[in-house]
Structure 1
Amino acid sequence: MMLAEVETFLSRPIAPTRRVAIGRLELPVDPAPGFGGILLGAIAARFAPEIDSDMHAEILQLMSQLEAGNSIPQPKLRHRLQEDTVGLQRCVHRVIGEGEHLEFQFDEDQGTPAQHVLCAAYAAARVPWDVVPAVMSTVHKGLMWQGGSESALLAYLSGRSGVVAISSVGDPVSWALAMLDLRDSQSASPSRKDVQRAFRTRLRAAHPDHGAADDSAAARITELTEARRILLG
């Protein structure tokens, strides 16, 4: 199942003028940053280590200008953003889900790292205006990523801990209610006391001393703790 997708068009590396164009964007961002913001952050994390170090500061400045809604004169950072896609190579990055597992699919055969990062920044400015800051912040986090596993990157970009499930990103409140077995609560918003009570009950059940498997206990406890954090704020 495709959860988010970014289509861009990029000039070939040998072209005298580097050009980029933004194509179709499938970037769900509710609740922010959503799968869309996480995909853009992951694009930045994947390609930023391969761009010149002196370009990082320029990209951060561009992102601030985009977030403020400023008009960006072209070319910018030695690349021209345009609408015309004639002569450009199509490139698609996406995040897909299977069950509760998320996986990034990067098209690494087209374009240059700088083109990919720039397109992530430009795409972040095209989401609904009220969530641009949250999505741009996720791209910024991607630029700062120090490396690690894909699951660690997902947790880092989403602000979650442990293994990140699809439902915890797409509908974190419903996921948290399910984790703590509160979906059938008479109140749509369980009280702080109800959340704490449910957390303690589920925590006891997840502990190896109460019969839970040792190899899954740590991950389960991490999920329960994250669910409590989401509901209590």
Structure 2
Amino acid sequence: MLLAELEIFHSRTNAPTRRVALGYTYLPLQNGSGNGAVLLAGIIARFIPDIDEDFYDDYKKLLYQLQRGERISQPRLRHRFQEDKIGLARTVHQLQEFEGKYRFIFELNEAAAEQNILAAAYSISQFAYRERPAVVNLMHKAVKWRGEVGTDFISYLLSRHDKFVADLGHESSESWALKVLGISITNPDDDEVKKQFRKLLRSTHPDTGSDDVKVDVARRIQDLTEARRILLR
């Protein structure tokens, strides 16, 4: 089943100019689905190891500029972004569900690594401003990933709190963690985090109640533990 799709138009390897444009995009974030953000992050994780490391800082800066809706100077990563698709080659990347699991389908042809990750970045403009912080948060995590873009990447990307992707009211994983632990101050010290974690953990009893209650409690403990890890790192 198709979960998300990004169509990219780009100049060919032997073309005198380097261009990239967006085609059809299916990047859902509504109704509890963060599949669009997951696909964009997957594209970044798959192709960013192949770019020149000198481009990394400019790429991360570009993500922030697109999140804020700033005017983007051209070219970026030696490629110019445009709307015209005439004469450009086509590449399509997808996120699918197969037997209950995520599966990335990357089309590997003439598209350069820079063209793929630039298309993922420029897709940020497809989202409302309130949605962008959560999307860009995942994209920055993807920049750091090294390894196969599969099940382990998904686990790393969502960090056991995939509700964060769907709950787009959170600007970062830190804001999610603060809410989980019930901490109102922005920058709590380690002692405050540990104190609140212990307090909430003591109020959670995994060995009592029905099976449904036990499942909810187990998830609550996972969230508390992950929130503590985020704020203490």
Alignment TM-score > 0.5, same fold: yes
Contact 2:134 2:165 in 1 (8 A): no
Query: What residue is the counterpart of 2:152 in the other structure?
Result: 152
Partner of 1:70: 70
Q: How does 1:60-99 map to 2 (within 5 A)?
A: 60-99=60-99
1:15 Cα shift?
1.3
Segments of 5+ residues of structure 2 without an aligned counterpart are 168-199, 228-233
Q: Distance in 2 between the 1:147 and 1:122 partners?
A: 24
1:16-36 residue CA offsets vs partner (Å, 9 max, x unmatched) = 211000111111123677011
Please say if residues 51 and 113 of structure 1, whose CA atoms lie closer than 8 Å, have aligned partners that are also in contact.
Answer: yes
Q: Secondary structure of 1:72's partner?
A: coil
Q: Which residue is equivalent to 1:200?
A: 207
Deviating beyond 2 angstroms after TM superposition, the runs of 4 or more aligned structure 1 residues are 30-33, 73-77, 167-171, 199-205, 223-233
Q: Which residue of 2 aligns with 1:43?
A: 43
CA–CA separation in structure 2 for the residues paired with 1:54 and 1:124: 22
Whole-angstrom distance in 2 between the partners of 1:168 and 1:134: 8
Deviation at 1:98, TM superposition (A): 2.5
How far apart are residue 158 of structure 1 and its match?
1.8
Contact map agreement 2:4 2:26 (CA 8 A) in 1:
yes
What TM-score, normalized by structure 2, do the two folds share?
A: 0.70
Residue aligning to 1:55: 55
Give distance in 2, aligned partners of 1:80 and 1:120: 14
Distance across 2 between alignment mates of 1:95 and 1:38? 8
Structure 1 residue 9: Cα displacement: 0.5
Matches of residues 97-176 of structure 1 in structure 2 within 5 Å?
97-148=97-148, 150-160=150-160
CA 1:43/1:32 → structure 2, altered by over 3 Å: closer, same or farther? farther
Q: In structure 2, what is the equivalent of residue 183 of structure 1?
A: none
TM-score, structure 1 normalization: 0.70
Kindly state the Cα deviation for residue 201 of structure 1 after the two structures are TM-superposed.
Answer: 5.4
Aligned identity (percent) is: 37
Instruction: Using the TM superposition, give the Cα deviation of residue 200 of structure 1 relative to its aligned residue in structure 2, in angstroms.
Output: 3.5
> Residue type matched to 1:135 in 2?
V
Q: Secondary structure at the match of 2:3?
A: strand
1:4 maps to what in 2? 4
What does residue 230 of structure 2 align with?
Answer: none
Secondary structure of the 1:13 match is coil
Paired AA for residue 70 in structure 1: E
User: Residues 228 and 31 (structure 1 numbering): CA distance in 2 closer, same or farther, change over 3 Å?
Assistant: farther
Superposed CA deviations along residues 106-133 of structure 1, whole A, max 9, x for unmatched, are: 0111310011011111112321221111
How many residues were matched structurally?
191
The 3-state SS of whatever aligns with 1:130 is coil
Helix, strand or coil at the partner of 2:136 = helix
Deviation at 1:147, TM superposition (A): 1.7
CA deviation profile, 1:45-69 (whole Å, cap 9, x unmatched)? 0000000000111101111111111
CA distance in 1, matches of 2:34, 2:134: 10
1:33 touches 1:138 (CA, 8 Å); kept in 2? no
